[in-house]
Structures are given as structure tokens and as C-alpha cells.
Amino acid sequence: MLQFLQTLMPTIVAAVEYNQFFAKGLAYVGAGIAVFTGFGTAIGQGIAAGKAVEAVSRQPEASGKITTTMLIGQAVAETTGLYGLIIAFILISQ
């Protein structure tokens, strides 16, 4: 039995090393996908800024409230991109 385990051990070590390499590669792929959350964030913030500019051009007297609301909305939208970036860093650091 001991001799059988000794002959099987190099195969087990190679499989474990391969699985760790494969898992690390998939972690990098997952990190790349997680970074794509920044595209949605950028598009949403661009649309919000464009709509705010339209609103200010229609009602210049309400520019203070429009700007405040836009900045709060963009801060909330930015958290999505930051969460994606944090997840990407976590995946890469493992």
C-alpha cells in the first residue's frame, strides 16, 4: 500500500499544482469581468450629467437643487464601480 501511495504522489502533486494554476487564471478572468462594472457606471453618470445640463438650461433658477441632486445621484452610482474594483483587487490578491 505504501509503495502504491509513493508512486501516486507525484501525480497528485501535479494535479494540485495544475488546479491552483487554473484557479488563479480564473480569478484573473473574474477580476477583468468585475472591472467592467466601471463602464455601466460611466454611462449612467454621463446620462445623469447630460440630463442635469438640460434641466439647468430650461430652469436656470433651480440650478442649485439640480446640481445637488445630480451629485448625490452620481456618488451613489459611483459605488457600483468602486465595488467592482474592490472585488477585482480581492480576486487578484488571492
Q: Which CATH superfamily groups domain 29-94?
A: F1F0 ATP synthase subunit C (1.20.20.10)
Mean residue pLDDT of the chain comes to: 86
Q: Rg for the chain (alpha carbons), in Å?
A: 25
The more confident residue out of 63 and 26 is 63
How far is Cα 79 from Cα 3, in angstroms, rounded to an integer?
57
- For 1-23, how does the pLDDT look when each residue is reduced to its tens digit (9 = 90+)? 667 767 777 777 777 777 777 77
According to the model, what pLDDT value does residue 5 have?
Answer: 64
pTM above 0.85, yes or no: no
Residue reference for cell 497528485: 12
